[in-house]
């Protein structure tokens, strides 16, 4: 039996997914399910796209949540704190230095660059006074901005700015069968994160408290950064960066349900998936038959939600 | 017994601790007292392996804290530091529950649930149990953190200034809970700011100054006017009022 409080969110997610299958340039009516041509379209394009959106939304939200616990700061997310930019730098380096690199090498090196970028970020913010939490997002923005500027400079120098645009502006219109399967890896990483949920929550209590509870804090941070970096790198390479998902979604869930990740991580993943899917459907409808970049729509929706969040009173538990 | 042998500690060029050799007896309440900057907190975090040992050796019931796996030590020794800034939003019940993590590693059983309920009751947290920690006052949060340490159920419990933010009644209640713990055979080591709590509740006292142990022994022997005056470089008189000894230092 599904608990009652999960029925509405699950129904909403299913409705969005069904809506996504029937939204696009070609109009599919209710009769589509008997039309082999329409079924082929769903099989090759709509279904992969819907899955890609769900996987991306879920993994970006969870990656943001993990980074926030590890950094012990609510206002950071991988897409703006250097992880995403470092991943783009990595894939740019592979494109330049090893043009025929196989996919696994592109992925691996891009993940490695993302990991280095995240480790440097955590090392940077460790120097900041804990009494000034707002310095952390400022440092994150500056650090991510510098790395991003490096990506742009190299891209401009070697005439690769078109690729850079693909990696930095996430959108799903290019998703088709055979071009998104790498994203299943982010789904696996999200499940892995759930196994570590208690350890991430304890890491969020701080290094001393974690050690006192018998956790090897360094190892938990390493595991978390690996998940965040690989998930971010996979998304950057296949879809491109979608900013704010990792920031807005975990903050909303934390406001409503707290930070016990064992309880909130599935909801964070589902909310991230649903919100990005809603934005992607809007992206397909807004200038039909053309598309608006989903990152742009999410930026507007995310900003509105965030403002609402800042002004709404936090809800007490239960 | 906690055995500390030839421990020295530096932070950059500054000497924090030198030549510490000390036995903290098993059982009872041991109070660490001394002026600010005496090295009490550093000594406590070295015993609890929160900072790596630079020099010397520390064992807890024969277990070397530098070599014992950290998860095994967590079932034997718990610590509450004074500067625990809680960034995470947890309910009091969940927070206290994490005290059991060393025992259940994510799968709490009936014994864990009983220990959590016991800790919540012992610190009067039942009315706050479903509140988020960021909606509590400083004193309520402090009680929740002490309850979490209590729930950990270890033989050795180290507390760094646990009376911070607590009002008179809750401070007294906490010290009585620590006495209860000691009565069940557990060992409580507590850094205390206010020597009168040591006079009223501690069995043993370790007096520290300038990174060294100045005096150590049964509370009645260490807490004398002469020792305390020298320790704090400030006149302190001990007086008996109603059969209990008090340090007079406010006037």
pLDDT digits (tens, 9 = 90+) for A278-294: 999 999 999 988 898 89
Q: Do A201 and B85 touch (CB under 8 A)?
A: no
Q: What distance in Å separates the CA atoms of residue B149 and residue B164, rounded to the nearest whole number?
A: 15
Q: Which residues of chain B are under the pLDDT cut of 70?
A: 83-87, 251
**pLDDT score at B21:** 95
Architecture of domain B1-76+192-250: 3-Layer(aba) Sandwich (3.40)
ipTM of the complex: 0.91
Ordered by start, the domain boundaries in chain B are: 1-76+192-250
Residue of B nearest to A262 (CA): B106
Distance CA A209, CA A69 (A): 13
Contacts of B218 by beta carbon, 8 Å cutoff, 6+ apart: B203, B204, B205
pLDDT band at A317 (very low <50, low <70, confident <90, very high): very low
In angstroms, the separation between the Cα of residue B77 and the nearest Cα of chain A is: 8
- pLDDT value of residue B87: 67
Q: Chain B residue with minimal CA distance to A216?
A: B70
The CATH architecture of the domain made up of A43-311 is: Orthogonal Bundle (1.10)
Q: In what helix (H) or strand (E) does residue B168 lie, and over which residues does it extend?
A: helix B168-183
Contact B70 A259 (CB under 8 A): no
Query: Hey, are the CB atoms on B88 and A259 less than 8 Å from each other?
Result: yes
Contacts of B103 in chain A (CB under 8 A): none
Strands B187-191 and B156-160, how do they pair?
Answer: parallel
- Which one-letter DSSP state was computed for residue A5? H
Break chain A into its structural domains and give their ranges.
Answer: 43-311
Closest CB to A202: pick one of B80, B85, B98.
B98
Q: How confident is the model at residue A9 (pLDDT cuts 50, 70, 90)?
A: confident
Comparing CA positions, the residue from A114, A60, A68 lying closest to residue A92 is: A114
Taking 50 as the threshold, does the pLDDT of residue A318 lie above it? no
Residues of B in contact with A72 (CB under 8 A): 87-88
pLDDT score recorded for residue B138: 85
Query: Which residue is closest to A217 within chain B, CA to CA?
Result: B70
Long-range pairs, B223-230, Cβ under 8 A, ≥24? B223/B195, B223/B198, B223/B199, B223/B247, B228/B195
State residue A119's pLDDT score: 95
For residue B11, list its beta bridge partners.
B14
Q: Quick check: A212 and B74 CB within 8 A? A: yes
């Amino acid at each position: 039996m599904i608990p009652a409080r999960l029925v509405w969110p699950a129904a909403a997610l299913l409705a969005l997914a069904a809506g996504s299958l029937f939204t696009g340039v070609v109009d599919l009516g209710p009769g589509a399910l008997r039309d082999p041509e329409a079924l082929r379209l769903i099989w090759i394009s709509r279904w992969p796209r819907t899955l890609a959106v769900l996987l991306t939304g879920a993994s970006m939200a969870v990656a943001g949540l993990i980074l926030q616990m590890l950094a012990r700061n609510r206002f950071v997310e991988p897409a703006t704190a250097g992880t995403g930019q470092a991943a783009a730098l990595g894939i740019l380096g592979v494109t330049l230095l090893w043009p025929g690199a196989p996919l696994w090498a592109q992925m691996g090196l891009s993940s490695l660059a993302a990991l280095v970028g995240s480790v440097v970020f955590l090392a940077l913010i460790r120097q900041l006074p804990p009494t000034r939490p707002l310095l952390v997002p400022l440092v994150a923005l500056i650090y991510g901005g510098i790395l991003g500027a490096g990506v742009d400079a190299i891209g401009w120098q070697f005439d690769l700015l078109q690729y850079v645009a693909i990696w930095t502006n996430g959108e799903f219109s290019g998703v088709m069968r055979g071009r998104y399967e790498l994203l299943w890896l982010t789904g696996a990483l999200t499940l892995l994160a759930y196994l570590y949920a208690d350890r991430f929550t304890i890491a969020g209590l701080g290094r001393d408290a974690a050690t006192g509870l018998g956790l090897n804090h360094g190892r938990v941070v390493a595991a978390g950064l690996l998940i965040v970096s690989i998930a971010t790198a996979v998304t950057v390479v296949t879809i491109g960066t979608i900013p704010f998902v990792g920031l807005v979604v975990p903050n909303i869930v934390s406001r409503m349900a707290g930070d016990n990740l064992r309880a909130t991580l599935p909801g964070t993943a589902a909310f991230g998936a649903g919100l990005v899917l809603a934005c992607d459907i809007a992206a397909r409808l807004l200038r039909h038959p053309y598309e608006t970049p989903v990152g742009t729509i999410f930026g507007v929706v995310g900003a509105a939600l965030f403002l609402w969040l800042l002004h709404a009173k936090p809800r007490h538990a239960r | 017994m906690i055995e500390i042998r030839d421990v020295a500690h530096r932070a950059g060029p500054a000497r924090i601790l030198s030549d510490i050799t000390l036995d903290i007896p098993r059982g009872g309440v041991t109070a660490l007292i001394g002026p600010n900057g005496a090295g009490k907190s550093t000594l406590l975090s070295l015993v609890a392996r929160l900072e790596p040992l630079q020099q010397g050796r520390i064992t807890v019931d024969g277990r070397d804290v530098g070599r014992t796996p950290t998860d095994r030590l967590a079932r034997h020794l718990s610590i509450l530091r004074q500067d625990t800034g809680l960034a995470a939003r947890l309910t009091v019940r969940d927070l206290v529950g994490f005290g059991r993590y060393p025992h259940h590693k994510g799968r709490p059983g009936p014994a864990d649930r009983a220990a959590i309920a016991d800790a919540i009751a012992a610190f009067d947290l039942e009315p706050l149990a479903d509140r988020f920690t960021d909606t509590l006052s400083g004193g309520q949060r402090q009680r929740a953190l002490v309850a979490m340490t209590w729930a950990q159920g270890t033989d050795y419990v180290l507390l760094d200034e646990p009376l911070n933010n607590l009002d008179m009644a809750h401070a007294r209640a906490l010290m009585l809970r620590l006495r209860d713990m000691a009565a069940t055979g557990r060992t409580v080591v507590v850094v205390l700011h206010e020597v009168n709590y040591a006079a009223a509740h501690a069995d043993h006292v370790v007096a520290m100054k300038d990174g060294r142990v100045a005096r150590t022994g049964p509370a009645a022997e260490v807490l004398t006017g002469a020792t305390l005056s020298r320790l704090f470089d400030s006149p302190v008189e001990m007086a008996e009022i109603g059969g209990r000894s008090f340090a007079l230092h406010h006037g």
